[in-house]
Amino acid sequence: MKQWCLVCLVLLLIQSGKIVLQVEAGDGFISTRGTQLVLDGSPFYANGFNAYWLMYMASDPSQRNKVSSAFEEATRHGLTIARTWAFSDGGYSPLQYSPGSYNEQMFKGLDFVISEARKYGIKLVLSLVNNYADFGGKKQYVDWARSQGQYLTADDDFFSNPVVKGYYKNHIKAILTRCNSMTGVVYKDDPTILAWELINEPRCSSDPSGGRIQSWITEMASHLKSIDGNHLLEVGLEGFYGPSSAQKQQLNPYFQIGTDFILNNQIPGIDFATVHSYPDIWLSNSSDVEQLSFLKNWLNNHIEDAQSTLQKPVFFAEFGKSSRDPNFNMYQRDLLYNTVYSAIYSSAKGGGAAVGGLFWQLLTEGMDSFRDGYEIVLSESPSTASLIVEESEKLNHIRKMYARGKTPMMEREQNIRKTI
């Protein structure tokens, strides 16, 4: 009875933030080794999903079952990575009311997401701000600075104005040093988090040279790493090529947005590359056959560049096909998923740089207002769900081989000998 009372007292102190649990770096944290991610000494490959809505839904205790259901369904389909927002700036029910002023109810929602992810064995990629005005984004930061007398002419000033950059740096610190009210673990010490993402899909069209974003990434990566030396960091790039690889700019879908896949990912502190793939948006006037041809070329070039030039892992962090497209059919969506998954597996089984893919986006039943055309409700999409399970099993098989001290090449040779 006394032991039970002591346990209850400790839990209460954790909830109040008076006890902070320490987690040693290296205990469940994912690191990099060349072009591979590594967990507990073995290469780590994983299949995953996007669910931007997790914190928002979890901020309402009556809706937290949606988060639990999503994680439970994901786990049953072998999905072990979730990418989600750790931002909501200004506007309705935000995380950050104004610079440095936070909504505790929303923060507790994020606490729940991290706690629940740990429960289900899911690693998280947490994005820290949006390029777009949805959930505030860089526009909100610029507006906040304007209200304090800063003369700013465009949202792209987010990347260069010292006041705005100060606001964002403070947000980084607030997130990384948050003590989880449910686990007692400070975010920067929690191995449930796989990586931080600086910004979702950065774009700075006012500077096609890419210099402004390059400087911003360099500064912010250094700042974040000075606070958190445990976690990996990625930029949040879509994968567009810039001036540093002019011969490959022809692969871009007809526009330049001020990012540079090669240079941006070579910045010290950036641990792995990301690529997004939306041929139905980027090549909306092209046929399904042309879009698929573009996708294959897009995937293969980025895997090769990650392997040979960057010598870093690469995640295909967003991909999908909208059911709102004219003449949409499930076969074409499944073909896109299969194309992405096949490229990842082909690289991974040879020890290459592709380490996983995260489709956009996972929903559970009863979330119709969150549908955007790209949603996957696993119970409604059996053919797509089957492809997801298959990819999960393949990547998990590679992980198990490495854990047994084998490589995919060694296993193939062993299988060949068995047939002789």
Mode of pairing for the β-strands spanning 36-39 and 30-33? antiparallel
pLDDT per residue as tens, the chain (420 positions): 434 333 333 344 444 444 434 333 447 999 999 999 999 999 999 999 999 999 999 999 999 999 999 999 999 999 999 999 999 999 999 999 999 999 999 999 999 999 999 999 999 999 999 999 999 999 999 999 999 999 999 999 999 999 999 999 999 999 999 999 999 999 999 999 999 999 999 999 999 999 999 999 999 999 999 999 999 999 999 999 999 998 999 999 977 899 999 999 999 999 999 999 999 999 999 999 999 999 999 999 999 999 999 999 999 999 999 999 888 999 999 999 999 999 999 999 999 999 999 999 999 999 999 999 999 999 999 999 999 999 999 999 999 988 887 666 565 555 555 555
Query: How are strands ordered across the β-sheet holding 42-44?
Result: 30-33, 36-39, 42-44
- 3-class secondary structure, 126: strand
Its pTM stands at 0.92
Closest CA to 17 of 214, 246, 187, 267: 187
Give, in order, the Cα–Cα distances in Å from 206 to each of 140, 150, 231, 238, 340.
18, 19, 32, 17, 32
Active site residues: 201, 318
Return the structure tokens found at 21. 């649990």
Q: What φ, ψ does residue 163 adopt, rounded to 5°?
A: -65, -45
Amino acid at 135: F
Q: Helix 64-76 crosses helix 104-120 at what angle (to 10 degrees)?
A: 20
Residue pair 50/359 in contact by the 8 Å Cβ criterion: yes
